[in-house]
Amino acid sequence: MGSYPSFTWPSAPRPLVALAPMAGVTDASYRQLLKEIAPEIIVYTELLSSDALYHGAKKTKEMLAFDPQRERPFIVQIFGKDPAHFLTAAKVVEQAGADGIDINMGCPAARVVSSCHGSALMKNPDLAAEIVAAAKKAVSVPVSVKTRLGWSDAETLIPFCRRLVEAGADALAVHARTYTQKFSGAADWEPLYALKDALPAVTILGNGDIMSGQDAVKKIGNLDGVMVGRATIGNPWVMREVVDAVSHSSASSAQPIFFEQKIPFILRHCELAVSLKGERKGMLEMRRHLAGYVKGIEGAKDLRAQLVRVEHIWEVEKILSR
C-alpha cells in the first residue's frame, strides 16, 4: 500500500489541527470517529515501540492498520532510543502506507523515561539528532518530532529543536510543559512563539491546555497549528469546535451539543470498536471512553458504574436511552 502522495507538512492547509497521539486512546476506531466529526484534522496513532517494530512484533504491527479512505493524513508515532531500530521501524511504517512518521521525544511516563525513551531524549541531543537522521534516511515520507519545552525549564528548547531540524525533522509538535511538570500546572505557550520566530520555515504545532475553540484561538499565535489531546476524551466534538474556531479566528459560533444528540455518535464509536477488534475486546476498550462521555451530566456516577461493566452494544443503548 503506497502512502498518500500529496501530504507534506509545508503544503498541508493552515491552520493545522491535529489529534495528539495518546496511548490506549487513539486507536483506529477513535481516529475514524474523530475524522467523521472533523474531516480536516490530522490523526496520529498511539505510541508504537521502534524496538517492537524492529523485531517484527505481531501486536505492534497490527496497530499500524488504518483505513486509507477515512484516516488520512495518517501519522504513526514511534518511540525508542536505538537509531538502527528506528531506521528499520521507519521503513515498516512507510510500507504500511502512513503519510508521515513522528518520533516521540516528550512522553513523561516513568517506564518510558527510565528506558531513556520519550522525554529522556531531551537530555541527549546528539542521540536525538541521530535518531531523526536515521528515520529520515530510511524513508521518503515526512519525519516529525513531538517533544516538550525541556526537562525542567525551556532554556534548551530552541537549540534542541534546531538540532532536530538540522538532522532532517520536517515538523515539530511541542507540548507546552516541561518533563518535570508532567501534565500538571498551566501550559506555557510563550517559548513556542519564540521557537517559531527562531525557526520560521519549520512547521510548528502547539499542544497543551486546549479545552475549547476559544482556547485554540487564544493560543495559536504565530504557530502553524494546534494539537488537541486529553480534551477530546469524552468530548470528541471539541475537534469540530477547534477547527471552526481557528479557521475563522473566532470561537463565537460554537453551538452547545445536548447529550441526546451525542448518543448516536457514542453508539457509532462502539460499532467502530467492535468491527475493528471484535465484540469482547472492542467493548472492553470502550469502557474508558464511555465513562468519559457521561462525565458532567446528571446522574453520571450511576451511569458510569453501569457503563464500565458493559459487554455488548445493546447494553450501552439500553443504559443511555434512559
Question: What positions carry a catalytic annotation?
Answer: 107
**CB-neighbour burial class of residue 200 (10 A; exposed 0-12, middle 13-18, buried 19+):** exposed
Q: How far apart are CA 230 and CA 228, in angstroms?
A: 7
Q: How far apart are CA 288 and CA 282, in angstroms?
A: 11
Backbone φ, ψ for residue 102 (5° rounding)? -120, 135
**CB-neighbour burial class of residue 291 (10 A; exposed 0-12, middle 13-18, buried 19+):** middle
In sequence order, what are the beta bridge partners of 79?
A: 49
- Under 8 Å between Cβ of 239 and 19: yes
DSSP 142: -
